């Protein structure tokens, strides 16, 4: 699932936020019970045809009014300030009969593997939405369908706090082949963009000697593969390599820059007319006190970011900086 920057913020950053009790007191790294969520999704998808989700990997609809899958014909450059919703632990309940989706935003960021065997992407396109497809590019997750392709020497240390996951060697030809195939899956689904997570292992104890230069090279590889298939690509956190990759990525997905006082780092995207899709996880969500919402939305440097307030599990609930809240219908 999505996770934060995997690095411990510097002491001054931590100290400056100690007074604000509205932030969840966790490092910039989170995870829901993904394996359980995936298992539940498998069960849900087994019922999907009955729910009108239009299962199948083919390029067309399912014969019951589902739209055909459309693949991008040009690389999408999202605009600064576009509205969005991110849900990574559930399948969206968007079928051929859906005439609107909540919230009425421009962009949805969804888990790629969970939606692979549905027509959700095509149905979101029918409603005029763009779709970013999430997968982890820099960590091994044992519950993903292609996890058996990773070799032992592709993997480094266990991710702190997540004993089932291990950092990946970003220069491994095998790892890159697997990621190339994942990008192809996103293309075949009709995704407009990819959200490749965990490209910031260099900021953590990874057991592989990962470096900023190596991570930047890996992001350039992902960008080349994605744009070759006419999909855009985002940079997930990894603020230390923005200068090295800004020219080849199309947006940022940032977690908790308000909490860690580093939103200014990501303003380079806005200066380049590229959006920052920004998430904060205020304590007390979904009942966020006004002061905490203001702190998340008015952080220095974040004025032009597309900010959402979310629960750590990145479920159907979202709050926007205007105080509006919504729940997206999910399976």
Residue corresponding to tokens 């920004």: 278
Topology annotation, domain 11-327: TIM Barrel (3.20.20)
Q: Which residues share a beta bridge with 167?
A: 139
Query: What is the pTM assigned to this prediction?
Result: 0.85
Counting other chains too, the contacts that 224-229 makes at CB distance below 8 Å and 24 or more residues apart are 224/248, 225/179, 225/180, 225/183, 226/183, 226/186, 226/193, 226/194, 227/75, 229/72, 229/183, 229/184, 229/187
What is the Cα–Cα distance from 122 to 59, expressed in whole angstroms? 10
What φ, ψ does residue 14 adopt, rounded to 5°? -65, -45
Note the pLDDT of residue 62: 45
Note the pLDDT of residue 69: 73
Residue 182: is it exposed, middle or buried by C-beta count within 10 angstroms (0-12/13-18/19+)?
A: buried
In the chain (331 residues long), the average pLDDT of successive 10-residue segments reads: 38 38 50 49 46 46 60 92 98 95 98 97 97 98 98 96 92 98 98 98 96 98 98 98 98 97 97 98 93 94 98 97 97 94
Q: Closest Cα partner for 320 from 293, 295, 283, 300?
A: 293
Boundaries of every domain in the chain: 11-327
Note the pLDDT of residue 234: 98
Note the pLDDT of residue 142: 97
């Amino acid at each position: 699932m999505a996770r934060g920057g995997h690095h411990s913020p510097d002491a001054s950053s931590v100290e400056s936020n100690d007074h604000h009790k509205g932030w969840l007191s966790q490092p910039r790294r989170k995870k829901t019970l993904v394996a359980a969520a995936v298992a539940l999704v498998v069960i849900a998808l087994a019922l999907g045809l009955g729910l009108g989700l239009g299962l199948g990997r083919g390029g067309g609809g399912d014969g019951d009014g589902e739209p055909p899958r459309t693949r991008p014909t040009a690389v999408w450059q999202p605009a600064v300030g576009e509205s969005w919703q991110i849900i990574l632990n559930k399948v969206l309940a968007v079928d051929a009969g859906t005439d609107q989706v909540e919230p009425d935003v421009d962009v949805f960021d969804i888990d790629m593997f969970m939606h692979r065997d549905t027509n959700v992407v095509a149905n979101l396109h029918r409603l005029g939405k763009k779709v970013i497809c999430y997968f982890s590019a820099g960590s091994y997750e044992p519950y993903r369908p292609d996890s058996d392709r990773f070799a032992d020497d592709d993997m480094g240390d266990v991710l702190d706090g997540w004993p089932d996951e291990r950092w990946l060697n970003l220069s491994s030809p095998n790892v890159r082949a697997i990621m190339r195939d994942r990008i192809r899956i996103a293309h075949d689904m009709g995704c407009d963009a990819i959200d490749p997570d965990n490209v910031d292992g260099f900021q953590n104890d990874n057991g592989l000697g990962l470096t900023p230069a190596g991570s930047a090279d890996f992001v350039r590889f992902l960008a080349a593969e994605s744009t070759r298939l006419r999909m855009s690509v985002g940079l997930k956190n990894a603020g230390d390599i923005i200068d090295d990759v800004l020219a080849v990525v199309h947006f940022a997905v940032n977690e908790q820059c308000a909490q860690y006082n580093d939103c200014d780092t990501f303003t380079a995207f806005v200066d380049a007319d590229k959006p920052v899709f920004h998430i904060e996880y205020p304590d007390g969500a979904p009942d966020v006190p006004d002061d905490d919402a203001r702190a998340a939305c008015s952080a220095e440097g974040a004025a032009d970011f597309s900010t959402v307030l979310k629960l750590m599990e990145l479920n159907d609930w979202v709050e926007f900086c205007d105080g509006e809240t919504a729940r997206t219908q999910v399976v």
